[in-house]
Amino acid sequence: MSFQPDHYITEDIKAIPPSGIRKFFDLCANSKDIISLGVGEPDFVSPWTIREACVYSLEKGYTMYTSNYGMLELRQEIVRYLYERFGLCYDENKEVIVTVGASEAIDMALRTLINPGDEVLIPEPCYVSYQACTLMSHGKPVMIPTTAEKSFKLTPADIEAKITPKSKVLMLSFPNNPTGAVLTEDELLALAEVVKKHDLIVISDEIYSELTYEQEPVSFASLPDMKERTILVSGLSKAFAMTGWRVGYIACDAEFIQAMVKIHQYTILCAPIMGQMAAIEAFRNGIKEVVRMRTEYDHRRRYIVKKAKDIGLDMVTPEGAFYAFPSIEKFGMDCETFATRLLQEKRVAVVPGNAFGKSGEGFIRCSYATSMKQIEEAFHRIDQFING
Ligand SMILES: Cc1ncc(COP(=O)(O)O)c(C=O)c1O
């Protein structure tokens, strides 16, 4: 009998669908002249001062493992940042761990919290890893649809409707990828009541918290009684344009950190020292660059909001991250057909909304982490596509 790799792969892993984003991008990998509003990463190169700090550290020979928790200097910077930005108090010795991006943090948090069959409440549309990582932890993802009618905001009633005796974790992700929705402090406070009432633990993915345009960001952990119940996940990828450096972090109660570091030390050891060196510099001297990039994203966002209105593309105004999520329902196509035809006929790449869950059907995600010139041309072509 011929050797069949499939025979050896677990049923659990086979059951996990590939990322809808990847699936779509494989389709356009070899095409030329495409304007892409598809990517979920900053179009900026990491600021020079950050790159220089890494180069300098290499010249000095910093090439070794660090503590499993991450370099103490970096943890101190994270703690300082969380205090200055959100008024949060964490202990750098016990309550922070540096991870390989927010991605590792999400996976590690879920694996630490989930017993087989435990339910994870996941507002949808959402970032693609939450459901897959829940399944890989043998948990049960319970999706909570959010709608354009309610500006893609999550309400206490939405959560209540999905609570069962097995509910354990609530994933929060605001500012949201892909909708750009942001929750106000009052809206978060209302969610906190439900969290307390049902004794939930929250994984709050705050990777986009530096990218809010209409209000100052609020960390879920900063709300009354929520610090102990919140695994705060964040990282440098988006705010500092540092996707390739792979540096994220978790801040939470020391007991959770102790549990999570078991996974981290046996699977990862530590985040790369080069990335950590760069991250220290980012927190020390990179914040003004964050402000500069945020201002530019906001400029693009305003253009898209106006342009979408002008060309008859219905859209909830995005208030955070760098995504717009217009409805394409009225054009009589499902989102995959719309995205495929837009790509083939007008050479513009967007992501079909259903890549972010069933409730994303009827929408497309347009990233504005690309230059103004590209955005203008893309929307000119979208206009031609929908209005002829
Ligand atoms: C909501 C959200 N969380 C986490 C990540 C992963 O971030 P990182 O690069 O820090 O792993 C992304 C990346 O697109 C994201 O959109």
> Which atom of ligand 1 lies at the shortest distance from residue 205's CA?
3
Q: How remote is the CA of residue 289 from the centroid of ligand 1, in Å?
A: 20
Q: pLDDT band for 17, please (50, 70, 90 cuts).
A: confident
Residue with the smallest CA separation from ligand 1 atom 13 is 40
Provide the 3-class DSSP secondary structure of residue 75.
Answer: helix
Q: How remote is the CA of residue 329 from the centroid of ligand 1, in Å?
A: 27
Burial of 263 by CB count in 10 Å (0-12 exposed, 13-18 middle, 19+ buried)?
A: middle
Q: What is the pTM of this model?
A: 0.96
Q: Determine the pLDDT at residue 23.
A: 62
Q: pLDDT band for 18, please (50, 70, 90 cuts).
A: confident
Residue type for position 355? A
Enter the tokens of residue 165.
Answer: 């005796």
> Which atom of ligand 1 lies at the shortest distance from residue 104's CA?
11
Say how many C-beta atoms besides its own lie within 10 A of residue 32's C-beta: 6
Ligand 1 pocket test: pick from 177, 268, 367 the residue with the most ligand atoms within 8 Å of its Cβ.
177
Mean pLDDT of the 326-347 span: 95
CB-based contacts of 219, cutoff 8 Å, min separation 6: 82, 85, 86, 88, 204, 206, 209, 232
Select from 214, 132, 217 the least CA-distant residue to 173: 217
> Which atom of ligand 1 lies at the shortest distance from residue 243's CA?
9
pLDDT surpasses 90 at 263: yes
pLDDT surpasses 90 at 19: no
Residue with the smallest CA separation from ligand 1 atom 7 is 102
Say how many C-beta atoms besides its own lie within 10 A of residue 207's C-beta: 24
> Which atom of ligand 1 lies at the shortest distance from residue 105's CA?
11
Mean pLDDT of the 57-67 span: 98
For residues 82 and 239, is the Cβ–Cβ distance under 8 A? no
pLDDT surpasses 90 at 1: no
pLDDT surpasses 80 at 22: no
Distance CA 348, CA 71 (A): 42
Task: Provide residues with CB under 6 Å of ligand 1.
Answer: 40, 101-103, 127, 173, 177, 205, 207, 235, 237, 243, 248
> Which atom of ligand 1 lies at the shortest distance from residue 40's CA?
14
Distance CA 214, CA 25 (A): 31
Q: How remote is the CA of residue 65 from the centroid of ligand 1, in Å?
A: 24
Q: How remote is the CA of residue 46 from the centroid of ligand 1, in Å?
A: 16
Bigger pLDDT: 38 or 305? 305
Q: How remote is the CA of residue 191 from the centroid of ligand 1, in Å?
A: 23
Helix 273-285 with 72-86: angle, nearest 10 deg: 40
Provide the 3-class DSSP secondary structure of residue 211.
Answer: coil
CATH superfamily of the 5-46+288-387 domain? Aspartate Aminotransferase, domain 1 (3.90.1150.10)
Q: How remote is the CA of residue 234 from the centroid of ligand 1, in Å?
A: 8
Give all strands of the β-sheet with 201-205 in edge-to-edge order: 96-99, 248-251, 230-235, 201-205, 167-172, 119-124, 140-145
Mean pLDDT of the 256-270 span: 97
Distance CA 109, CA 231 (A): 7
Residue with tokens 């439900």: 194
Q: How remote is the CA of residue 84 from the centroid of ligand 1, in Å?
A: 23
Select from 257, 249, 232, 228 the least CA-distant residue to 75: 249
Q: pLDDT band for 161, please (50, 70, 90 cuts).
A: very high
Q: How remote is the CA of residue 248 from the centroid of ligand 1, in Å?
A: 9
Select from 266, 277, 253 the least CA-distant residue to 201: 253
Q: pLDDT band for 32, please (50, 70, 90 cuts).
A: confident
Ligand 1 pocket test: pick from 25, 97, 103, 243 the residue with the most ligand atoms within 8 Å of its Cβ.
103
Domain 48-285 architecture: 3-Layer(aba) Sandwich (3.40)
Q: Determine the pLDDT at residue 28.
A: 66
Q: Domain segments of the chain: what residues?
A: 5-46+288-387, 48-285
Average pLDDT, the chain: 96
Q: How remote is the CA of residue 104 from the centroid of ligand 1, in Å?
A: 10
Q: Determine the pLDDT at residue 89.
A: 98
Alpha helices (H) along 244-371: 254-267, 273-285, 287-311, 335-346
